[in-house]
């Protein structure tokens, strides 16, 4: 076996970059470890600014040919990538579970099928993309979506391949070329995606994968004058740095930055449903940007809601994510575990009470936690923990519920549970959020816009909104006559 191949869960994975249709090794490496047991998985090529420049150059060289490729052919190749994902679904599931600790059953049944769906959806959307012509004083307006150029896509560690392809698929469908920079804590399935794309027939340089630390290759990518779009999912401080780096070239940005979303439970709600939805927020060990981590319950039903919640939460099984019976796996990295524990310790010292949890487990596991007696202005209520930690507060009416729900600097999502359709409409209209779920959670359709308000991000992707971002939208206005006036 090559020195640059590692075997993860029985699956060979190349640890080098993918640039211009070739594997490229770095002089230095970084160690990728599994959150399941802390064991080292691979030594990954550690990118440098020189390799970042090479990746952008490869994307720039491939852009004219890919942009000129007819939409039907681009769509065919994207569907071929989806077919490759389907064929390797088990490999991708095993590798990603080992690399980031999310449940194997979720990868098999939901996450990896969604990866394939991302490619098929945007292939279909590309072939359907059109805007009805309209007239202005008998002049015809014709709207088109023109490929913008090389795109830099910087993706997070909590759902590595699904969130990467949520960006890669529309960028490629739009006729752009891509430099994908996966998170250093979970880089392995991005490398497998490069193999799948090459096997599907994607031309060299259309998709490039650059591994490494953001602090070492990030600026080289986001400040590059040949980059035409940047899409980033991650933290607010990193987004501010990226925006400053992109500003000199006015490179358009799409930023999805997490949140501190509320779950509002009204007295007329189905409390069993509300408790189920609240416990669902522990999914992926709480490492979900959309998670409704602030539970707001109408005071008159708070005691009964809490009883039902604790009953359900007590049945959750935490352990090895490769076990089909496991409900909650490990947190991604010791540094993230320390961050989560720090939040909880400071909250307890500040007067919060742990109804359940409030402590570490063994290894990289943190006990599912519910904190009450928290102040609205406290750190635990205002800042994103990104772990299995929820808070519970009470309210006495719609106005107070909305005030508490909107009283953070974030605005990614919100969930409300009520038996009154008119209340659902009133409250939804007043919530500051990119997505509002009523009596449900995490129902995602790729036709819908996705993004956040306030510090939860800039812009929307999904459906035609993705093409609006990844393209230069052009309007061509044609006079009704006069073709031969100057002939």
Question: Which spans in 138-233 are helix H?
Answer: 160-173, 188-200, 219-222
Place of tokens 């640890």: 15
Considering all CA atoms of the chain, what is the largest pairwise distance in Å, rounded to the nearest integer?
A: 83
Nearest-CA neighbor of 448 among 432, 428, 465, 436? 465
**How would DSSP label each residue in 18-51?**
EETTEEE--SSEEEEE-TTT--EEEEEE---HHH
Catalytic residue among 51, 96, 256, 461: 256
Distance between CA atoms of 378 and 326, rounded to whole angstroms? 32
Pair 229, 469: CB distance under 8 Å: yes
- Cα angle vertex 336, ends 335, 337, to 5°? 90
Catalytic residue among 289, 384, 461, 471: 289
Distance between CA atoms of 222 and 411, rounded to whole angstroms? 25
In sequence order, which residues have a C-beta less than 8 Å from that of residue 240 and are 6 or more positions away? none
Q: Burial, 306: exposed, middle or buried (Cβ in 10 Å; 0-12, 13-18, 19+)?
A: buried
Q: What are phi and psi of 205, to 5 degrees?
A: 85, -10
Is 471 considered catalytic here?
A: no
| Neighbour-count burial for 255-290, b at 16+ CB within 10 Å, e otherwise | bbbbbbbbbbbbbebebebbbebbbbbbbbbbbbbb
Place of tokens 């359940």: 356
Is 256 considered catalytic here?
A: yes
Distance between CA atoms of 352 and 228, rounded to whole angstroms? 47
Query: Catalytic residues, which ones?
Result: 256, 289
């Amino acid at each position: 076996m090559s020195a640059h191949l590692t075997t993860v869960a029985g699956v060979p994975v190349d640890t080098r970059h993918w640039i211009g249709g070739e594997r490229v090794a770095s002089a230095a490496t970084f160690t990728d470890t599994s959150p399941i047991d802390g064991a080292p998985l691979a030594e990954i090529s550690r990118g440098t600014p020189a390799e970042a420049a090479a990746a952008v150059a490869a994307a720039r060289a491939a852009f004219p040919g890919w942009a000129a490729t007819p939409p039907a052919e681009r769509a065919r190749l994207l569907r071929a990538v989806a077919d490759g994902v389907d064929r390797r679904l088990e490999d991708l599931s095993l590798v990603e579970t080992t690399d980031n600790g999310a449940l194997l059953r979720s990868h098999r049944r939901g996450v990896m099928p969604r990866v394939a769906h991302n490619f098929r959806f945007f292939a279909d959307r590309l072939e359907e993309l059109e805007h009805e012509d309209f007239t202005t004083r008998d002049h015809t307006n014709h709207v088109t979506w023109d490929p913008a150029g090389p795109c830099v896509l910087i993706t997070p560690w909590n759902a590595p391949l699904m969130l990467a392809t949520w960006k890669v698929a529309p960028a490629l469908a739009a006729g752009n070329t891509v430099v994908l920079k996966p998170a250093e804590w979970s880089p392995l399935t991005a490398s497998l995606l490069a193999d799948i794309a090459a096997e599907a027939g994607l031309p060299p340089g259309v998709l490039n994968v650059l591994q490494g630390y953001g602090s070492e290759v990030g600026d080289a990518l986001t400040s590059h004058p040949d980059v035409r779009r940047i899409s980033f999912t991650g933290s607010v401080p990193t987004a501010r740095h990226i925006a400053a780096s992109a500003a000199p070239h006015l490179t358009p940005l799409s930023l999805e930055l997490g949140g501190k979303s509320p779950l509002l439970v009204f007295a007329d709600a189905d409390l069993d449903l509300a408790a189920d939805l609240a416990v669902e927020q522990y999914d992926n060990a709480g490492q979900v940007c959309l998670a409704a981590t602030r539970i707001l319950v109408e005071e008159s039903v708070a005691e009964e809601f809490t009883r039902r919640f604790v009953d359900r939460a007590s049945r959750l099984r935490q352990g090895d994510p490769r076990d089909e019976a496991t409900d909650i796996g490990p947190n991604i990295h010791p540094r993230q575990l320390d961050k989560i524990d720090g939040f909880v310790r400071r909250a307890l010292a500040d007067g919060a009470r742990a109804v359940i949890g409030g402590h570490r487990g063994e290894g990289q596991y943190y006990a599912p936690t519910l904190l009450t007696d928290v102040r609205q202005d406290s750190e635990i209520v205002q800042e994103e923990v990104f772990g299995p930690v929820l808070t519970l507060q009470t309210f006495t009416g719609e106005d107070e519920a909305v005030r508490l729900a909107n009283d953070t600097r974030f605005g990614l999502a919100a969930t409300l549970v009520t038996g009154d359709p008119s209340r659902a409409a009133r409250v939804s209209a007043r919530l500051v959020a990119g997505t509002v779920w009523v009596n449900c959670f995490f129902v995602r359709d790729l036709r819908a816009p996705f993004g956040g308000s306030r510090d939860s991000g800039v812009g929307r992707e999904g459906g035609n909104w993705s093409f609006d971002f990844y393209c230069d939208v052009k309007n061509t206005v044609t006079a009704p006559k006069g073709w031969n006036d100057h002939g």
